[in-house]
Chains A and B, each alone.
Chain A
Amino acid sequence: KQEVTQIPAALSVPEGENLVLNCSFTDSAIYNLQWFRQDPGKGLTSLLLIQSSQREQTSGRLNASLDKSSGRSTLYIAASQPGDSATYLCAVKNSGYALNFGKGTSLLVTP
């Protein structure tokens, strides 16, 4: 059974800092990996999707990398802003199945 772990569980940084969120998974035979953002009491917003054949994806200030062989992904957020405060979820899909989610990293960016 796929296990997804996210470190750290919580993170507080001052505005402007670059930061890295980590995600690891136990079964490297994945189909794709997706990073989401969840605001309190809200649904999920898809940030980046990385297919198993890809190494990274970028969108604006966000960059996600994937090392399938070692079972790791990182989400890099550049020049963080208070509006980035949210919970970030990493989810892994094995072929034909639903997403397996980590518990998330709760990010607080202070002005």
Chain B
Amino acid sequence: GAVVSQHPSWVICKSGTSVKIECRSLDFQATTMFWYRQFPKQSLMLMATSNEGSKATYEQGVEKDKFLINHASLTLSTLTVTSAHPEDSSFYICSAERRAGTEAFFGQGTRLTVV
């Protein structure tokens, strides 16, 4: 299977600061990557679709100015949580596909804790 690497695996930050999470497809190019969020005991909820070279598409209820997504290359998408607050504490995970509609591969996830 393909490899998607996500970094960091965990981060603790102070309220009001920003945190950047990276998602890399290591052995394939991905024109589209997806960012999900998972709260404790809940399933994964799509936050946004990251498109290489264009603006991300955000799901309803997700603040685009708070969760900045950049997909600058075919192998890298970043999610920046700006002015983080304790309620942003969650598990963030990205996925990528070799081609649209094929098997989705997920990163290891990032556990964000805002104190």
Contacts and interface: CB of A to CB of B under 8 A. Distances in A.
Interface of A: 31-32, 34, 36, 41-46, 49, 89, 91, 93, 95-96, 98-104
B111 A103 contact: no
Interface of B: 1, 6, 34, 36, 42-46, 49, 91, 93, 95, 100-109, 111
Contacts of B104: 34, 46, 91, 93, 99
A95 B102 CA distance: 10
A96 B100 contact: yes
Contacts of B106: 36, 43-46
A51 to B, nearest CB: 9
Contacts of B45: 101
Contact of A43 (B6, B42, B49, B102): B6
A44 B93 contact: yes
Q: Which 6 A-B pairs have the closest CB atoms?
A: A44-B106, A43-B108, A43-B109, A101-B43, A103-B43, A98-B34
